[in-house]
Amino acid sequence: MKIALIGYGKMGKEIEKVALSRGHEIVCIIDINNQEDFESEAFKSADVAIEFTNPMVAYNNYIRTFKAGVKLVSGSTGWMAEHGEEIKRLCMEEGKTLFWSSNFSLGVTIFSAVNKYLAKIMNQFPAYDVTMSETHHIHKMDAPSGTAITLAEGILENLDRKSEWTKGTLLAPDGTVSGTNTCAPNELPISSIREGEVFGIHTIRYESDIDSITITHDAKNRGGFVLGAVLAAEYTAQHEGYLGMSDLFPFLND
Ligand SMILES: NC(=O)C1=CN([C@@H]2O[C@H](COP(=O)(O)OP(=O)(O)OC[C@H]3O[C@@H](n4cnc5c(N)ncnc54)[C@H](OP(=O)(O)O)[C@@H]3O)[C@@H](O)[C@H]2O)C=CC1
Ligand SMILES: O=C(O)C1=N[C@H](C(=O)O)C[C@H](O)C1
């Protein structure tokens, strides 16, 4: 399969290696310095483009990829609140194709299913309140992480006493703490920690006066995100529309 890469940073470089190891060809690499290549024949020849950039530029990259008539896989986070509805509409009503996930790792996909199941159980146990925390490397631009937002949505869909998530405390790379831990009973607070080169830790904690139940996913490296993105690209080459991990792993719909 012919793959174009958009964004050649931490994820883009690792995706290149895994895509080559699975027999794919990289036909074009677009970074910040060669934006004109969106119009190149090499880019247009790709079966799928894989985009990992940042919250500010992802939307524009999607529009340029759609214009070139190329299917897209993206893991960029932090753009959904502003542009999510429009991008979904372009895919569902105007024939464009995007496979997006806030986290491509199989481990988080499993964790996400467990999270939803646990939230459903907790409807029977009102003594427990729920909080979430996420820890990432100091270079990360968005907070809360995209994964934390997706996990929070999984809780809101299943736990009747919570209706929105809210930002909790932020521990910044320089050690300063901002935000608050207090929130309304219907709110789920997400605290964020930026520390060293952490790949991504997500913890969901249910706490009562007598005990606590905690589930955690801790990425040991970027291998899971990278393999998942390449598997998603292989899937996207054969499918159309607005796609996600529940298409790739239908057990999530059970
Ligand atoms: N869904 C998932 O599983 C995962 C998602 N992510 C998300 O993916 C994104 C990228 O992560 P990561 O690779 O670690 O970040 P990096 O900062 O390491 O890489 C991003 C790259 O994109 C480049 N870039 C900036 N602007 C443009 C542009 N307009 N067009 C093309 N390239 C551009 C940057 O160049 P320069 O450095 O010169 O600005 C940089 O090389 C983040 O939003 C992160 O949250 C990350 C890991 C897993
Ligand atoms: O920026 C990162 O590194 C990551 N971003 C994604 C997110 O925002 O959830 C996925 C993963 O946690 C790594």
Is 76 a pocket residue for ligand 1 (Cβ < 6 Å)?
yes
| Active-site hit among 24, 71, 96, 140 | 140
Identical fold at 2-104+223-253 and 106-218?
A: no
Is 74 a pocket residue for ligand 1 (Cβ < 6 Å)?
no
Testing ligand 1's pocket by substitution, the residue of 53, 100, 109, 248 carrying the most ligand atoms inside 8 A of its CB is 53
State pLDDT tens for residues 67-125: 999 999 999 999 999 999 999 999 999 999 999 999 999 999 999 999 999 999 999 99
CA 146 to centroid of ligand 2, rounded, Å? 6
Close Cβ partners of 99 (under 8 Å, ≥ 6 residues apart): 72, 73, 74, 232, 233, 235, 236, 243, 244, 247, 248
Cα separation, 169 vs 11, whole angstroms = 27
Domain coordinates of the chain in residue numbers?
A: 2-104+223-253, 106-218
pTM above 0.90, yes or no: yes
CATH topology of domain 2-104+223-253: Rossmann fold (3.40.50)
Q: Which residue has the tokens 């910040």?
A: 32
State pLDDT tens for residues 115-153: 999 999 999 999 999 999 999 999 999 999 999 999 999
Is the dihedral angle over the CA atoms 236, 238, 244, 246 positive or is it negative? Answer: negative
Asked whether the beta carbons of 96 and 162 are under 8 A apart, the reply is no
**Residue 141 token pair:** 């631009």
State pLDDT tens for residues 208-253: 999 999 999 999 999 999 999 999 999 999 999 999 999 999 877 6
Is 88 catalytic? The answer is no
HEC profile of 95-141: CCCEEECCCCCHHHHHHHHHHHHHHHHHHHCCCCEEEEEEEECCCCC
CA 46 to centroid of ligand 1, rounded, Å? 20
Testing ligand 1's pocket by substitution, the residue of 10, 30, 43, 52 carrying the most ligand atoms inside 8 A of its CB is 52
Is 77 a pocket residue for ligand 1 (Cβ < 6 Å)?
yes
| Active-site hit among 24, 136, 162, 202 | 136
Atom of ligand 2 nearest to the CA of 103: 10
Class of domain 106-218: alpha beta
Q: Which residue has the tokens 């470089």?
A: 13
Cα separation, 226 vs 152, whole angstroms = 23
Is 103 a pocket residue for ligand 1 (Cβ < 6 Å)?
yes
Rounded alpha-carbon distances, angstroms, from residue 174 to 71, 143, 171:
40, 15, 8
Is 83 catalytic? The answer is no
